[in-house]
Structure 1
Amino acid sequence: MKNLGAEIRSWAGSIGAAIVCALLIGIFVIQPTKVMGHSMDPTLHDQQRIFISKLSHTFRYEPKYGDIVIIDSRVDRSRTLMDDIEEHPLISLFTGEGENEIIYVKRVIGKPGDALEFKDHKVYRNGEALDEPYLNETMNYSSNEKLVVPEGHIFVMGDNRNNSKDSRSIGFIPLDHVLGIKL
């Protein structure tokens, strides 16, 4: 009986260590996620599983133009480490919460200091029309406003421009709201 108790404690310790490692890896290094909706069609599809590198979020570095990023769309509030923990897929197994509707998958269009314009069915960055071969239809959105991306923020859009809730409606994305970059 003594050996059985020691064996159970050994297994419990190993399982506990594995769970802690999975949490740490998922919060700080790499995490699977699911695309919800059609805003990234045709590049990514509804319910498609993707992996994201969390290193940009962990070390607070700026994504590159064209990167597909995962963002927290609640741009009017600050993020904390607790947000990262609560959004981890392993935690949602225990809490019973499903995929998070505040997490968006989008493409980086503008970085700090960029001037963006939307005219002639195209996006212009710093006066130059973007070459966007990933789009499958002409963008219907236009605006007379010139937007300048503030320091510490990015501007994101979905590839399905006519069916995407993105920076045009939610505003500039603080860099700490960029949760990762698609691998």
Structure 2
Amino acid sequence: MGFDFELILAIAFLVTGVFWVYDRIVYLPKRKVVLANMAPETRIAVSKDAQQRLAETPRLVVEVKSYFIIIAVIFGVRSFVVEPFQIPSGSMLPTLKIGDFILVNKFDYGLRLPVSNTTIIPTTEPERGDVVVFKYPLDPSLNYIKRLVGLPGDTVSYHDKVLTVNNKQVSKELLAKLSVSLNPSKEPVQLFNENLGGVQHDIYNSYRFTPHEGEWVVPEGHYFVMGDNRDNSADSRFWGFVPEENMKGRAFYVWLHWGEFFSVPSIKNNGLIE
């Protein structure tokens, strides 16, 4: 199982929230009584820590409830506005590099409840060509990022490195042939600019045979996704479709690149994600 930070953050929010409410109900009135019985000049000089001690507020309550506001803000922003992710693999090369830190718009595809990902307020629908972050269907504790290729009802085929959507070949233009030294995938590749429903972006195709070819009809309520590094991506060709309820948001910005732990972080890749 993966490290489900969203679930851990939700639990922390609930635990600290319970302690915060408990303090407001039980110990805040006691602190008010203590302050009310003090002389005005003494009351001004009493610190918050002193108030806690005078009202005999347990140290555990004081410590835990003090984190509530911070955790609530982080939880709210990550759940409903924008969430950061780091790219762990090369499946989205050349669009996203290993070590890129990205931002994901959490309300593009509807406001959703944390953890369960249930839509509570619909907004817009995912569009072909979007770079999407979603819960991996075979292990929802993991987050994946791919490009959305097929919408519900679409017919998608991939043969001999040619992508076809609804019997229409997706156009691509050869830009360069890259040697091993110039390609992070560590194999010679061809660099293409692809036009997927009006969204232009770069992709890699290797020279070797692509084993997972075929034709797929996208069922209702599901999506077909592929990596831009077409021959080095475990995507819908391998494990199937992405249910709508697994969608987390649209990746829209690279804000930092940190390739290796001992390397120097860089802003060279900063910019909007196409």
Q: TM-score, normalised on structure 1?
A: 0.75
Residue aligning to 2:144:
104
Q: Which secondary structure state, in structure 1, belongs to the residue aligned with residue 89 of structure 2? A: coil
Alignment of 1:121-136 (within 5 A): 121-131=161-171, 132=194, 133-136=201-204
CA distance in 2, matches of 1:144, 1:39: 17
CA spacing shift, 1:166–1:7, aligned 2, 3 Å: farther
Give per-residue Cα distances to partners, 1:30-87, cap 9 Å, x unaligned.
10110110000100011110000111252454311111011111x257x6xxx6xxxx
Answer whether contact 2:155 2:215 (CA < 8 A) is retained: yes
Residue aligning to 1:160:
229
Corresponding position: 1:114 with 2:182: no
Partner amino acid for 2:49?
G
Identical pairs, percent: 31
CA distance in 2, matches of 1:117, 1:7: 69
Residue aligning to 2:88:
36
CA spacing shift, 1:181–1:144, aligned 2, 3 Å: closer
Partner amino acid for 2:155?
A
More displaced stretch, 173-182 vs 9-18: 9-18
1:15, CA displacement in angstroms? Answer: 4.7
Alignment of 1:61-72 (within 5 A): 61-72=124-135
Answer whether contact 2:150 2:218 (CA < 8 A) is retained: yes
CA distance in 2, matches of 1:7, 1:134: 61
CA distance in 2, matches of 1:4, 1:29: 33
Q: Which secondary structure state, in structure 2, belongs to the residue aligned with residue 69 of structure 1? A: strand
Alignment of 1:5-154 (within 5 A): 5=49, 15-55=67-107, 56=109, 58=112, 59=121, 61-73=124-136, 75-76=137-138, 102-131=142-171, 132=194, 133-137=201-205, 140-141=209-210, 145-154=214-223
More displaced stretch, 20-29 vs 163-172: 20-29
Answer whether contact 1:62 1:175 (CA < 8 A) is retained: no
CA spacing shift, 1:171–1:3, aligned 2, 3 Å: same
1:169, CA displacement in angstroms? Answer: 0.9
Partner amino acid for 1:33?
F
Answer whether contact 1:54 1:181 (CA < 8 A) is retained: yes
| Aligned residue-pair number | 160
CA spacing shift, 1:21–1:174, aligned 2, 3 Å: same
Partner amino acid for 1:135?
I
Structure 2: gaps spanning 5 or more residues: 1-44, 113-120, 172-193, 195-200, 253-274
1:3, CA displacement in angstroms? Answer: 2.1
Answer whether contact 1:31 1:53 (CA < 8 A) is retained: yes
Answer whether contact 2:87 2:100 (CA < 8 A) is retained: yes
More displaced stretch, 102-111 vs 139-148: 139-148
Corresponding position: 1:3 with 2:72: no
Q: Which secondary structure state, in structure 1, belongs to the residue aligned with residue 234 of structure 2? A: coil
Answer whether contact 1:117 1:143 (CA < 8 A) is retained: no
Partner amino acid for 1:21?
V
CA distance in 2, matches of 1:33, 1:71: 12
CA distance in 2, matches of 1:141, 1:110: 19
Partner amino acid for 2:135?
D
CA distance in 2, matches of 1:20, 1:6: 26
Answer whether contact 1:111 1:154 (CA < 8 A) is retained: yes
